[in-house]
Amino acid sequence: MATDTYTPTEEKSALKTYLPRIIIALVVLVGGYFAFQAYQHSQHYESTDNAQIEGNSAPVLARVAGYVQAVNVDDYATVKRGQPLVTIDPQEYDVALAQVEADYQQSVADLATAQADLATAQATARNVIQNARVAQSTAQVQASRRDKARQDLQRDQNLYKEQSLTRKQLEDTQNNVEVQGRQYEANVEQITLAKTSQGVAQAGIARAQANIQKIRAVLNVKQAAIDNAKLRQGYARLTAPIAGKIGRKNVVVGQYVQPGQNLFTIVADSTFWVVANFKETQLEKMKLGQEVAVKLDAYPDLAIKGRIASLSEATGARFALLPPDNSSGNFVKVTQRVPVKIEIINPQNYKNQLRAGLSVEAEVRVTD
């Protein structure tokens, strides 16, 4: 009876035949497993590596021209709000402030003089009015005397006709009428002169009041000049507008700076967020408040959690310097990206790691 036997050569041949198939099968199985896992993962998450850390920043600009007298910070130093940073030589602005303050004090003295002139004009006007009243009263008394003298003259004329009065007595009565009439005319002239003087006095009061108003307007202008000079004097001493860390300095002692020149920028180290640019095809299931896993390229082992805070109302291309115009006739469809703002949860825990501009990967959980 025959017995089947396998030689070592036949075993090696079988191994060579089936081993590649087994390896291929294992690779296919492993690949299929990971492909299935990737598919399952893609059904619940949307991710992008087109994202970076953003933060608030404030440029420190020179507001006046001059030579830099002192620089009180170093590159990448941490500063507090209001901390002195740079001092521009303030001597020019100190002199300008002293000059406008001196001009202001001169105008204050002019105002005091004008007010004294007004008081004098008002006192003169009161005296003129009083003199006019006295002249009016005197004229009334003198009119009564004149009328009495005329009555006496008529009586004496009748008595003279009856020869009850001498010629000399009649002439004395006539002279008295003339004297009383001239005296009344003199009093009337005094009244006219008093009225004229009263008008002059009122004009003097109006002129003094107008002068006071003019000087007060000048004082307002000079006060504004003082305020402006104080502002410019204050601008010579630059302080930190926000708390944070400064970047590279663009200023040194002795340098001449111009208004508007950027000396350095302060980046706030207390508020950071992520701006991730997702493809428009990834936005279908995205909603506000969805959880986001953020991974920093600089710190791959650091697990940062976030949530969607807002989605942009326009694609990133719309914010470009030259937005594309698809009506030009050479349209090529390109998948657009939409900026999504991601709020970092508990950012204070990562204060030492977060830097504005760092690249990150963002993964949004779009379904439960």
Distance CA 38, CA 268 (A): 38
Task: Give counts: helices (H), strands (E), the chain.
Answer: 3, 12
At residue 1, the pLDDT reads 42
Question: DSSP letter at 112?
Answer: H
Q: Is 310 helix (H, G, I), strand (E, B) or coil?
A: strand
Instruction: Give the pLDDT score at 151.
Output: 83
Q: What is the DSSP letter of 317?
A: G
The backbone torsions φ and ψ at residue 163, rounded to the nearest 5 degrees and listed phi first, read 60, 30
pTM, entire model: 0.61
Q: How confident is the model at residue 250 (pLDDT cuts 50, 70, 90)?
A: confident
d(CA 66, CA 88): 6
pLDDT tens for 58-76 read 999 999 999 999 999 988 8
Q: Return phi, psi of residue 289, to 5°.
A: 90, -5
11-56 confidence digits (pLDDT tens) = 666 666 767 777 888 888 888 777 776 666 666 788 899 999 998 8
Structural domains in the chain, sorted by start:
49-88+246-365 (2.40.30.170), 91-234 (1.10.287.620)
Q: Percentages helix, strand, coil for the chain, rounded to the nearest 5?
A: 50, 25, 25
